[in-house]
Amino acid sequence: KKISIAIDGPASSGKSTVAKILAKKLGYIYCDTGAMYRALTYLAITKNIDFEDEKALVDLCLEHRISFEQTEKEQLVFIDRAQVTEAIRQPDVTNAVSIVAKHGAVRAKMVELQQMIGRAGGVVMDGRDIGTAVLPDAEVKIFLVASVIERAQRRYKENQEKGISTDFETLKKEIEQRDYLDSTRKVSPLKQAVDAVKIDTTGMGIEEVVKAIEEIIST
């Protein structure tokens, strides 16, 4: 039977890396909900829309189509017909996305889209509120955490591999800031579902985390 797997956790906790590998192994769909909030934020930036203007942000959701395309190598993100996979990872988007994501009406729209994607099962979905709000009936719920230093180190290494030079302290501050905004917002704050299994991945390798989740799935 095809099940639903919800993977939640703070910024840079390794969710998407692990979720992608799991989806591939299981032959499931992978849905990166953070990418959807990022795409909306990117749209708001390009259209010069105020991040506090909830109604204008909801209108953007209604006027445009955010979608994914799975290739052999990676998951591509589209807004209408434009590919924005790289653009939504830029610092201007990263630094604004938590503000866009705090609005209740924006989240309601996003959750609706995500539930449509997840409805049939056979999905690995990662985000902040998957186990609590998007797929509350998911058969498997995982909550990934890692120390701030570890997460900043992972980001630093990732950036290095991409040839982007970044300052470690700045990365650490950005992660702390996003943690703060994501966990203190009034609507759907980052919170572990009561029936989620928490895995602290500090000092763990990716394969180790994947294995731990596979064990949880098989029990």
The footprint of ligand C5P (CB under 6 A) covers 11, 33-34, 37-38, 97-98, 101, 127-129, 178, 182
d(CA 5, CA 126): 8
The first and second tokens of residue 82, run together, are: 């434009």
Q: What is the DSSP letter of 204?
A: -
Distance of closest approach, residue 170 Cβ to ligand C5P, in angstroms: 16
Do the strands 140-145 and 4-8 form a parallel or antiparallel pair, or are they unpaired?
A: parallel
Distance of closest approach, residue 218 Cβ to ligand C5P, in angstroms: 26
Closer residue to ligand C5P, CB minimum distance, 92 or 215: 92
Closer residue to ligand C5P, CB minimum distance, 101 or 193: 101
d(CA 134, CA 101): 14
Distance of closest approach, residue 64 Cβ to ligand C5P, in angstroms: 17
Distance of closest approach, residue 219 Cβ to ligand C5P, in angstroms: 26
Closer residue to ligand C5P, CB minimum distance, 129 or 150: 129
The answer to whether 33 and 109 have CB atoms below 8 angstroms apart is: no
For residue 30, the cross-strand partners are 124
Closer residue to ligand C5P, CB minimum distance, 154 or 178: 178
Q: Which residues contact 4 (CB under 8 A, 6 or more apart)?
A: 118, 121, 122, 123, 125, 135, 137, 138, 139, 140
